[in-house]
């Protein structure tokens, strides 16, 4: 029986599901006594270092966890569960860690996008049972802005390259801790969990010493809403219009499509509840159910968007965006995506001349970490006649407007493109980054569903202004479009919907085509 330490800050459902999937029984530690009586303890940390340590102390876990680990009892730490073992973190310098190992947790200092979010390899420094049965080509899912820097190099199990080599796993006696998320790393990650439990397995040297390479991600997006019969379906718009002959297009069921994409090698799945802005999303229980069911069998990151904002219900009860997001995380989401509310927040920011500390972006990223907050932008191209004087960020375009205009900006919209706002996409992205967003999902209404390829000008313009990862979205029609967006821009991920749903270009075909041209994850 595995005991899981849950201090209440994130998606522990995934790790529970992963262990259940490999046939293990798991119980959640309710108090310090459960830690001391554990046969095997798993600590999947998420969020920010300081709030994690505070939560461990408040719940009475801190001292028993130290005692358990000092006794060299079987332990697996994941992500912050690795970082917690060290003396302190640059993320919260005033908060001491568990001090099991000497060393500190440092913020990445490199020119690449931070967080380090996506699939990367491992390079072993010593043999370990946890790599038994792997081939050495596998990649694992990372999502973090800080990494450990141990004083004692003997504990280092693997390093990974991101700007420079950083320590991505440690092992000492019965203590193993990894920076990546095995529960989100597909079949290879499940194998690591199995190996961790097989104490008797021989030590293997699979990931030979070498530089690791960060992969570009291919993301499948499922726009979900109720159809005219009231069933929750995956739909797909043409420039955001999801109706055909007056009826909502039905392209399949969310859970089974997500499973199919996982099997086909999707690096991530995104669900967008596209009518979520209309009603209180927590009343929309089917979306929570979709997440719960999906996370039982899909072991790559799951993002959910739609309706994430503060809300007061008919009885006057107020729900914060943080509460809404928490419910999604508890149901299996790894990230939440904020659309309409992000535009409102950015407009308030400009009006008031700064942050309030109260917005959904700030409150959710403070508790769950910035990597858990995606901002979904729904921009529409607006042409202007001259490149001079504008309150919007203009782009000189190679695709002239109807009257030969050579300049345009990308207007932000809300409510699924139904209403435009006086704000451009570049300004929105920059403000959201400043407020704590960890990633931008960059759609484009003009390209959505057209199969004409991604809007490279839009993507380049936004990418050059922010440091957080960008997911290019809207317009993929052929495998070549994925290559184009990765060659012409520095985006970290490309998302598509229609071509996957209609099976016109399956994910395997995209990966087959990109293999050898672009670094990608191959299972
Ligand atoms: O505003 O916080 O409630 O979030 C609503 C979310 O739903 C937003 O992320 C918004 O992008 C999305 N949304 C709202 N209405 C629509 C619609 O289509 N009518 N979907 C919509 C937007 C855009 C992409 C799409 C790509 C790829 N979908 O996610 O999947 O364009 O499509 P393609 O590969 O077929 O071209 P809030």
Instruction: Please determine, for residue 46, whether its predicted confidence score (pLDDT) is greater than 90.
Output: no
Q: In 3D, which of 495, 491, 393 has the Cα closest to residue 447?
A: 495
Whose alpha carbon is nearest atom 2 of ligand 1?
A: 339
Question: Over the stretch 427-463, which tens digit does the pLDDT of each residue have?
Answer: 999 999 999 999 999 999 999 999 999 999 999 999 9
From the candidates 91, 223, 327, 433, give the one annotated as an active-site residue: 223
Helix 285-297 × helix 254-263 angle, to 10°: 30
Q: 392 CA distance to ligand 1 centroid (A)?
A: 23
The average confidence (pLDDT) of the chain is 95
What is the three-class DSSP state of 396? strand
Report CA torsion sign: 372, 366, 145, 64. Answer: negative
DSSP secondary structure string for all residues of 317-359: -EE-HHHHHHHHHHTT-SEEEE-HHHHHHHHHHHHHTS--S-S
Choice among 88-102, 192-206, 418-432, 509-523 with the minimum mean pLDDT: 192-206
**Percent of residues, the chain, with pLDDT higher than 70:** 99
Instruction: Please determine, for residue 333, whether its predicted confidence score (pLDDT) is greater than 80.
Output: yes
The pLDDT value given to residue 299:
98
Q: What is the mean pLDDT of residues 402-423?
A: 96
pLDDT interval class at 127 (50, 70, 90): very high
- Give yes or no for residue 150 CB within 6 A of ligand 1: no
Q: 248 CA distance to ligand 1 centroid (A)?
A: 14
The pLDDT value given to residue 294:
97
The pLDDT value given to residue 284:
59
Q: What is the mean pLDDT of residues 124-132?
A: 96
**Percent of residues, the chain, with pLDDT higher than 90:** 87
Q: Facing residues of 218 across strands?
A: 494
Pull the structure tokens for residue 295: 């996370």
pLDDT interval class at 32 (50, 70, 90): very high
pLDDT interval class at 272 (50, 70, 90): very high
Whose alpha carbon is nearest atom 16 of ligand 1?
A: 416
Strand duo 88-89 + 103-107: pairing: parallel
- Give yes or no for residue 242 CB within 6 A of ligand 1: yes
Of 209 and 286, more confident: 286
The pLDDT value given to residue 102:
98
Pull the structure tokens for residue 292: 């719960």
Tally of CB atoms within 10 A around 211: 10
pLDDT interval class at 281 (50, 70, 90): low
Instruction: Please determine, for residue 9, whether its predicted confidence score (pLDDT) is greater than 70.
Output: no
Instruction: Please determine, for residue 317, whether its predicted confidence score (pLDDT) is greater than 80.
Output: yes
Residues 6+ away with beta carbon under 8 Å from 231: 250
Pull the structure tokens for residue 485: 């967006």
For a substitution probing ligand 1, which of 448, 452, 478, 499 has the most ligand atoms within 8 Å of its CB?
448
- Give yes or no for residue 281 CB within 6 A of ligand 1: no
Q: What is the mean pLDDT of residues 311-321?
A: 88
For a substitution probing ligand 1, which of 443, 451, 493 has the most ligand atoms within 8 Å of its CB?
443
Run of H or E residues at 360: helix 360-368
Instruction: Please determine, for residue 280, whether its predicted confidence score (pLDDT) is greater than 80.
Output: no
Question: Could you identify the atom of ligand 1 that is nearest to the CA of residue 342?
Answer: 2
Instruction: Please determine, for residue 47, whether its predicted confidence score (pLDDT) is greater than 90.
Output: no
User: Would residue 378 show up in a list of annotated catalytic residues for this protein?
Assistant: yes
Q: In 3D, which of 372, 326, 470, 469 has the Cα closest to residue 79?
A: 372
Q: What is the mean pLDDT of residues 256-275?
A: 97
C-beta of residue 79 within 8 angstroms of C-beta of residue 183? no
The pLDDT value given to residue 332:
92
C-beta of residue 413 within 8 angstroms of C-beta of residue 433? no
Q: 223 CA distance to ligand 1 centroid (A)?
A: 6
Instruction: Please determine, for residue 501, whether its predicted confidence score (pLDDT) is greater than 90.
Output: yes
Q: What is the mean pLDDT of residues 492-497?
A: 98
The pLDDT value given to residue 473:
98
Q: 18 CA distance to ligand 1 centroid (A)?
A: 29
User: Would residue 183 show up in a list of annotated catalytic residues for this protein?
Assistant: yes
Report CA torsion sign: 30, 34, 35, 38. Answer: negative
Q: What is the mean pLDDT of residues 60-81?
A: 96
Distance linking the first and last C-alpha atoms of the chain: 29
Instruction: Please determine, for residue 201, whether its predicted confidence score (pLDDT) is greater than 90.
Output: no
User: Would residue 229 show up in a list of annotated catalytic residues for this protein?
Assistant: no
């Amino acid at each position: 029986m595995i005991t899981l330490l849950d201090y209440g800050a994130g998606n522990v459902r995934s790790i529970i599901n992963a262990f259940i999937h490999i046939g293990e029984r798991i119980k959640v530690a309710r108090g310090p006594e459960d830690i001391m009586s554990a046969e095997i303890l798993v600590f999947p940390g998420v969020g920010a270092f300081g709030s994690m340590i505070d939560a461990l102390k408040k719940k009475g876990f801190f001292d028993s966890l130290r005692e358990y680990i000092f006794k060299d009892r079987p332990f697996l730490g994941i992500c912050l569960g690795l970082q917690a073992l060290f003396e302190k973190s640059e993320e919260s310098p005033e908060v001491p860690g568990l001090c099991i190992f000497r060393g500190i947790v440092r913020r990445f200092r490199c020119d690449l996008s931070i967080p380090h979010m996506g699939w990367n390899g491992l390079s072993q420094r010593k043999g370990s049972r946890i790599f038994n049965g792997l081939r050495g080509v596998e990649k694992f899912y990372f999502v973090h802005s800080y990494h450990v820097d141990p004083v004692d190099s003997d504990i280092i199990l693997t390093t990974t390259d991101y700007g420079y080599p950083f320590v991505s796993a440690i092992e000492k006696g019965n203590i193993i801790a990894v920076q990546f998320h095995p529960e989100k790393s597909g079949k290879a990650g499940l194998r690591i969990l199995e190996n961790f439990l097989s104490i008797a397995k021989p030590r293997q040297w699979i990931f030979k010493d070498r530089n690791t390479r960060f992969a570009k991600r291919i993301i499948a997006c499922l726009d979900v809403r109720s159809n005219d019969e009231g069933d929750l379906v995956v739909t797909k718009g043409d420039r955001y219009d999801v109706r055909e002959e007056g009826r909502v297009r039905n392209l399949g069921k969310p859970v089974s499509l997500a499973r199919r994409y996982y099997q086909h090698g999707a690096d991530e799945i995104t669900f967008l509840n596209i009518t979520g802005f209309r009603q209180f999303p927590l009343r929309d229980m089917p979306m929570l159910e979709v997440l719960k069911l999906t996370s039982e069998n899909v072991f790559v990151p799951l993002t959910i968007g739609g309706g994430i904002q503060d809300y007061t219900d008919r009885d006057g009860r107020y729900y914060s965006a943080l509460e809404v997001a928490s419910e999604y995380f508890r149901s299996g989401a790894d990230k939440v995506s904020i659309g309409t509310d992000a535009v409102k927040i950015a407009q308030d920011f400009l009006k008031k001349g700064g942050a309030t500390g109260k917005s959904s972006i700030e409150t959710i990223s403070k508790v769950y970490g910035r990597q858990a907050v995606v901002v979904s932008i729904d921009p529409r191209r607006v042409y202007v006649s001259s490149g001079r004087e504008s309150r919007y960020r203009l782009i000189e375009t190679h695709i002239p407007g109807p009257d030969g205009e050579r300049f345009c900006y990308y207007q932000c919209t809300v409510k699924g493109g139904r209403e435009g706002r006086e704000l451009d996409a570049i300004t929105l992205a920059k403000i959201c980054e400043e407020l704590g967003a960890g990633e931008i999902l960059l759609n484009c209404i003009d390209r959505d569903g057209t199969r004409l390829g991604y809007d490279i000008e839009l993507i380049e313009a936004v990418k050059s202004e922010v440091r957080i990862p960008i997911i290019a979205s809207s317009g993929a029609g052929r495998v070549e479009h994925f290559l184009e967006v990765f060659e012409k821009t520095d985006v970290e991920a490309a998302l598509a919907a229609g071509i996957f749903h209609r099976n016109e270009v399956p994910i395997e075909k995209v990966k087959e085509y990109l293999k050898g041209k672009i670094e990608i994850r191959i299972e």
